[in-house]
Amino acid sequence: MTVIGIAQREGTAGPIADAAASYTSTSTAHTAVALIDGSGHDEDVVRLAPMLAETAVRVGAVRGPLAGLLSAGALVHDPSPDRSGPDAVGVLYVRRPDERGFVVWVGDCRAYHWDGKALQQMTSDHTLAAYLSRAAKEAGTVPVTALSDFVGIKLGQAVPATVPFVSVPAAGTLILTTDGVHDQTSREAIEVLVQEHAHAPQTLADALVAAARSNSEGYRDDATALVVR
């Protein structure tokens, strides 16, 4: 049996623009869960984020994960030349009746998998910081953290070639997070919470969101966690 836990906490910058949704198709018996992180906090994106999450899971459970995420992207307004219109990033997980699961994502929402022993990050952030970190490994240099705000791909620009697709092990626990969780909580702290609460998805989701801390200037982003066991 699939058990799902969802938790959210509004940040300090304005109305929450994160959204989460889950859906099980009666025709395919596939279960889909999605996290969406809207860019900014204006009225358009706050209203749009729940629509994107619901579209992703409803299409994804029937048509597959790639179709689900791209269908959500189709709801984003045609971006203006300066990309000032509403946009978002997101991650979608679809689990089949045979227990095979698949994750697709755009931007810097993440998926982690816990097999009872180790926490594995299943996704890689589509940010300038992540790109430079990978490129700089051999040189031993680390780019500044602020570069993580530069998201290279969002839903409004997503096409099949830019949406990665990974298979998720059938057993274990899957954790989806927005950057308000994983950017404001250490990897070590996340792993400790997963070890303690992996058996209780709602408790783990609540704990992950509560663990996100404000930065030195008092800023805290919207934080959303979705846990599937």
User: What is the predicted pLDDT for the residue at 126?
Assistant: 82
User: What is the predicted pLDDT for the residue at 138?
Assistant: 47
Alpha helices in the chain (DSSP H): 43-63, 65-74, 128-135, 179-182, 187-197, 201-211
Collapsing DSSP states into helix, strand and coil, what is residue 217? coil
Longest CA–CA span in the chain (Å) reads 52
Q: How many CB atoms lie within 10 A of CB 56?
A: 34
Name 2's Cβ contacts closer than 8 Å, sequence gap at least 6. 31, 95, 228, 229
CATH pick for 4-228 out of 3.60.40.10, 3.30.505.10, 3.40.50.300, 1.10.10.10 = 3.60.40.10
Query: Cα separation of 131 and 113, whole Å?
Result: 22
Strands (DSSP E) found in 75-160: 88-95, 101-106, 110-114, 119-121
Task: Kindly give the confidence (pLDDT) of every residue in the chain, 229 residues in length, as a single tens digit, with 9 standing for 90 and above.
Answer: 789 999 999 999 989 999 999 999 999 999 999 999 999 999 999 999 999 999 999 999 999 999 999 999 999 866 556 666 789 999 999 999 988 899 999 999 999 999 999 999 999 998 766 656 555 554 555 555 555 556 667 888 888 888 988 999 888 999 999 999 999 999 999 999 999 999 999 999 999 999 999 988 889 999 999 999 9
User: What is the predicted pLDDT for the residue at 143?
Assistant: 52
| Sign of the CA dihedral running 157, 162, 168, 174 | negative
Query: Cα separation of 208 and 200, whole Å?
Result: 12
The tokens of 8 are what? Answer: 């959210």
User: What is the predicted pLDDT for the residue at 181?
Assistant: 97
User: What is the predicted pLDDT for the residue at 133?
Assistant: 59
Q: How many CB atoms lie within 10 A of CB 83?
A: 11
The residue to which tokens 């689900």 are assigned: 68
Query: Cα separation of 8 and 11, whole Å?
Result: 10
Q: How many CB atoms lie within 10 A of CB 78?
A: 6
Query: Cα separation of 37 and 22, whole Å?
Result: 15
